[in-house]
Amino acid sequence: MNRPEAIRTFFRSSTTSHSAANNSFVDSPSSILSQQSTFDQSARGDSLSKFGKDRLHPPTKSSQALESNNLSVQKGLFQLVQQFLDKKDGRQSAADTQNKERVYERCKSILRSIPRPSTAQDEMHLAGTISRKLSLQSGSSSKQLRFETLLNKLMDQNAVKNKWAILYLLNELSEDNSAADISYRSRSRMPSAAQSDIDSFASQGLPTFTSPHHQTLARTHDGSDTSRSIRRKVSDESDASMDHNLPPAQQLQVGLRTHEAEFSSKQVPEAAILRDIMFIFQGIDGTYIKFDAESDAYVIDDMVGISRSARELIHKLTELGWLYKRIQAFIATNIDNASIGLVGQSFCSSLQREMNDYYKLIAVLEAQISKNEGKDLTFLSDDLDTSLSTNSLTLKRLVVWMRDSLQRLRLMSVLIDACQDQKGGAFVSVIHNYTKHGDPFIQTFISQLLEEVSAPFWEMLRMWIYEGELEDPYEEFFVGCDDSVSEEELWQKKYTFREGMLPSFISNTLAQKIFSIGKSLNFIRYNCHESAVIQERSQGHVQTLRYGNISAVENSIDKAYLDTSRQLLNILKDKFKLMEHLKAFKRYLLLSQGDFIQYLLDTLGSGLSKPANTLFRHNLTGVLEAAIRASNAQYDDPSILARLDVRLLEISPQDLGWDVFTLDYHVDSPINTIFTPQAMQQYLKMFNFLWRLKRVEHSLSAAWRGLVTSGRQYNSIPELARDIRSAQIVITSMIHFTSQLQYYYLFEVLECSWEELSHFIENKCIDLDSLIDAHSRYLTDITTKGFLNGSTNQMFLQNMLLRLFKILDTALQYRTSLDQLIALADYEFTRRDANRHSGIDTSKLLKIRMRLTAGAESFQRETLDLLATLSSYQDDDLRSLSTRLDYNDFYGRSTSTLRAG
């Protein structure tokens, strides 16, 4: 009889009450019961001789009820065994009878070890599933209608009791014609089915069927490398015991021999295995399960008789032991390791706390096992479904109860791998990235863990933003400190921003505020010496910072940032007179204090025209003090004036006093944070340029005054009258040039930039960094527009500056030639007034006249080139300067005249 016929015989014999499907097979149900009784007695006797009397227990009420419920299944199984093994001639020897009893007992054991499908026994739902499948497969409704007609006939058969089982079996048979397909499909409908469940069928005589889709689901269900290695191990054991190329009958024999070999091994009570697993959970080898270092997994003693399904459950549970050993090794290695930092040690502490909860669960499980130790349960004789119906601890229950713990240990193992060689803020960022997970369990677990792990980071942050102290012994914070930096350079160089240690949940903007808060507090304490302000502030801020509420942290940091910055700026403005210092630089080093600068020029003019090595600093200092007393500078704050001084630059052999003289302004902490050495260098460059411009303007003005006052007497000399009038015109044009250039610098450049700076400080400045940046922009503007500095148009500015210096040098040279002409005129006027003698030294006059003409032409030519350059540059301020220098198109007409000539 083939397999379908045997199955149909089974259902007919288990559902009909008095009729038989095959008269040669059995006469009546009563004869079946009689045969069953005789067979059971024989089988029990055989079991007694094989396993020993200690394997038998008196039947309980529950076992009797179970025997009654499964009677129809046992009858059907017995009939199938008879049908397969009875000889056609009806002769039965004692050996045949014993063989039937042995096969029957083994089949019963196999049925007990296979869990039943967990599919809900809903006939209509299953019928709907089959109907939809038929519709999809055929593409038409004919098969679907045929199925519904047959289904209605089945539902009308009152003699059929278990209609759902019939539909379920037919649905499974329809999936594929092979026994392997039945194996896979039935298993795939179990909620916890994995690839290893399918592999276990090989040991029971059924070929293994592998679905690619099922493999994908298995990998998705369990991504642990340990789980995959355990499944491969079980699968390899199954594949080794079965050759899937054998015919079905031989495969059945191989499966029976394998199953028989398993149960002929040493039998171990389930409680003993559970006790071993408790040891495994704690990384300790058990009696029957031990750790194999070569395969890096726990293995079961080969001499222990355990079914494949139970073996798979054990292998799943041993993964917790493998993870436990790994986590404990990490904790033991790093809990006292200072190199991983405070955050790393906090991570170890958090893992240890999780392991303590894990220990508590193991203690509860051990207590449960102790209650069950009196029950001698084994894998061979237990019906797993019956075990689940009791209150005792079983392997299946243990797998379910340890599911969350397994996932927790897996997550901890993953974090250990991910956080290798990380510390501080980078460590926290790695863990935080795992909170972006769709699984609520993983997200919650990581968030709770991170709240503990990040506690040292938040404590560092609290100390930094509320007290200005950097408590970071292992360099884990995103702010670094260089203790070798002096107090004067605290703001610029002592603290650095380490972006690699910035946690990913803190934005760069927020981090910059945090960085500024701590620097400001340190600046107030060590540079401004206002520790009392910080103490009052820290006592008023008791808010605890922690992970999980980033918005509250941002609000706290924003408030601390505004309060700290406002306090620092107020200290600089009020106590250290920041604005007064800025105004002093503008008045004295940028020559805005006109009467003071004019007094210096008038007093020092003759002395600075001498060689530089003849100057003495104490003499210059005396002149400076006199200039202060003689101008409105005397009304400035004495502490500001005390900082004003005279300095002589490095002297070269050919230098005059004009070349080395400069004013200086002394700055100290904390204002030297704003007036940095670079800023002072820019002020010095601007002073030297403006001082040079003032010198030329002062020299030309003095020459013009001399021509005006002595012009009448010079006109009395006919040979010089024309030269004197030409010189007056040239000097006037030069004075116009220098005056317009000064106006451009002092008003359009300096005053406009100063207005922007002062307005920003009073209304928009929010912290010291913004103040320093504003002051730097101010200096950059005045030096760039003054042709002294530039980044994008450096070549143009250098060219402009060289042209200006050349024009100014030409003007000074013209003044020297003019002094020679005036000296000649004074000599001739005196000589003629005394001797009444006419005549003049014409050779000397011609030389002076040639130099004056050459100087005037050079000035005009260089001015024309400068104007052409200014007009070609795309800048409104420079175009305005070009208009001022040639407001009446004087140089434009001169250019046309030269071209016409």
> Residue 297 phi/psi, 5° resolution?
-160, 165
Q: How far apart are CA 794 and CA 403, in angstroms?
A: 70
H/E element holding 518? Answer: helix 508-522
pTM: 0.65
Pairing of strands 644-648, 661-665: antiparallel
Length of the chain: 901
pLDDT at 520: 93
Residue 173's pLDDT band, with cuts at 50, 70 and 90, is confident
Residue 432's pLDDT band, with cuts at 50, 70 and 90, is very high
Which domains, and CATH codes, for the chain? Answer: 3-53+63-113 (no CATH), 190-409 (no CATH), 454-575 (no CATH), 676-900 (1.20.120)
291: which strand partners? 298
Q: Are 381 and 280 in contact (CB under 8 A)?
A: no
Nearest alpha-carbon partner for 405 in 332, 317, 311 = 317
pLDDT at residue 403 greater than cutoff 90: yes
Provide the CB-side half-sphere exposure for 866 (13 A, CA): 28
**In 3-state terms, what secondary structure has residue 839?**
coil
Q: How far apart are CA 521 and CA 525, in angstroms?
A: 6
Q: How far apart are CA 513 and CA 519, in angstroms?
A: 10
Query: Judging by beta carbons within 10 Å of its beta carbon (0-12, 13-18, 19+), is residue 4 exposed, middle or buried?
Result: exposed
| Number of neighbouring beta carbons within 10 Å of residue 52 | 10
Read off the pLDDT of each residue in 121-130 and give the average, rounded to a whole number: 80
pLDDT at 136: 76
Q: How far apart are CA 92 and CA 97, in angstroms?
A: 7
| Number of neighbouring beta carbons within 10 Å of residue 883 | 13
pLDDT at 289: 92
Q: Measuring CA to CA, how many Å separate 564 from each of 467, 512, 561, 568?
A: 11, 14, 5, 6
Residue 219's pLDDT band, with cuts at 50, 70 and 90, is very low
Non-local CB neighbours of 186 within 8 Å, separated by 6+ positions: 117, 172
Q: How far apart are CA 538 and CA 32, in angstroms?
A: 92
Residue 260's pLDDT band, with cuts at 50, 70 and 90, is low
Least confident interval from 103-107, 232-236, 263-267, 597-601: 232-236
Q: Which residue would you say has higher pLDDT here, 242 or 827? A: 827
Non-local CB neighbours of 379 within 8 Å, separated by 6+ positions: 113, 267, 268, 270, 273, 305, 306, 307, 310
398: which strand partners? none
Non-local CB neighbours of 206 within 8 Å, separated by 6+ positions: 179, 180, 183, 251, 255
**In 3-state terms, what secondary structure has residue 644?**
strand
- pLDDT tens, residue by residue, 195-216: 333 333 333 333 333 333 333 3
* Range picked from 138-142, 296-300, 713-717 for highest mean pLDDT: 296-300
- pLDDT tens, residue by residue, 37-78: 443 444 333 433 333 333 333 344 444 444 555 677 778 888
pLDDT at 246: 59
Read off the pLDDT of each residue in 721-729 and give the average, rounded to a whole number: 89
- pLDDT tens, residue by residue, 667-683: 998 999 999 999 999 99
Residue 875's pLDDT band, with cuts at 50, 70 and 90, is confident
Non-local CB neighbours of 99 within 8 Å, separated by 6+ positions: 85
Q: How far apart are CA 530 and CA 525, in angstroms?
A: 5
The DSSP code sequence of 134-172 is HHHHHSSSHHHHHHHHHHHHHHH-TT---HHHHHHHHHH
Q: Are 809 and 683 in contact (CB under 8 A)?
A: no
Pairing of strands 479-481, 495-497: antiparallel
* Residue whose tokens read 């019906």: 383
Read off the pLDDT of each residue in 701-724 and give the average, rounded to a whole number: 84
299: which strand partners? 290
pLDDT at residue 757 greater than cutoff 60: yes
H/E element holding 291? Answer: strand 289-292
Q: How far apart are CA 641 and CA 577, in angstroms?
A: 13
CA 459-460-462 angle, to 5 degrees, is 65
Non-local CB neighbours of 8 within 8 Å, separated by 6+ positions: 21
DSSP 571: I
646: which strand partners? 663
- pLDDT tens, residue by residue, 576-627: 999 999 999 999 999 999 999 999 999 998 889 899 989 899 999 999 999 9
Nearest alpha-carbon partner for 432 in 510, 502, 503 = 503
pLDDT at residue 805 greater than cutoff 70: yes
The proportion of the chain whose per-residue pLDDT surpasses 70, expressed as a percent, equals 75
647: which strand partners? 662
Q: How far apart are CA 892 and CA 901, in angstroms?
A: 14
- pLDDT tens, residue by residue, 528-549: 998 888 887 777 655 778 888 8
pLDDT at 247: 56
pLDDT at 374: 58
Nearest alpha-carbon partner for 4 in 249, 169, 206 = 169
Mean pLDDT of the chain: 78
Q: How far apart are CA 531 and CA 697, in angstroms?
A: 52
